[in-house]
Amino acid sequence: MIHDRFSLFLQMIYDFTVRKLSGCNNEKLRGCSSAFLDGLISFPLNIPGTAYWKCLQGRNKAMRVIKIMLEERRGTLTKKQDKDFLDVALEEMNKAGTILSEQTALDLLFALPFAAFESASSAVVLALQYLQSNPLALAELTCMSLPPART
């Protein structure tokens, strides 16, 4: 049960980060990313059917999905009030003399959700361990989050 909640929490962090970076919640991207994560820590044996091979296939599919998103956004690039990372990356790529290439932008859009995902999950685990070992801190946080009692 705790594992299910933790998995849902991690999925929520990943979805939130992807939505903030690209402005959309793409189910195809989540599937590719989970295939990538499942084989990330595996023996690097690039033979069809191995975890490493599936990891590489997941990355390649994710990069194709991100490239399609980039091309779609490039076709509809307009001045809008609320920009996301994809808009900023496209603007930077269109500048003369920029060091941001399309491949670098694609790599960033692929890697940044994992960076947020991994750091947030580690922080949550550390916070839960700290709260479990310090009941006074847990009690204080509980008091802070409860509304004041009315008399």
pLDDT tens-digit map of 11-64: 777 777 777 777 776 676 777 777 777 777 778 888 898 888 888 888 888 888
- Which pLDDT score is estimated for 146? 64
**Reported pTM:** 0.66
Summarize the confidence of residues 3-13 as an average pLDDT: 70
Q: What is the distance between the alpha carbons of residues 92 and 77, in angstroms, rounded to a whole number?
A: 12
Q: How many residues does the chain have?
A: 151
Task: Give me the mean pLDDT over the 109-122 stretch.
Answer: 75
Contacts of 63 (CB under 8 A, 6+ apart): 106, 110
What's the mean pLDDT in 112-125?
Answer: 73
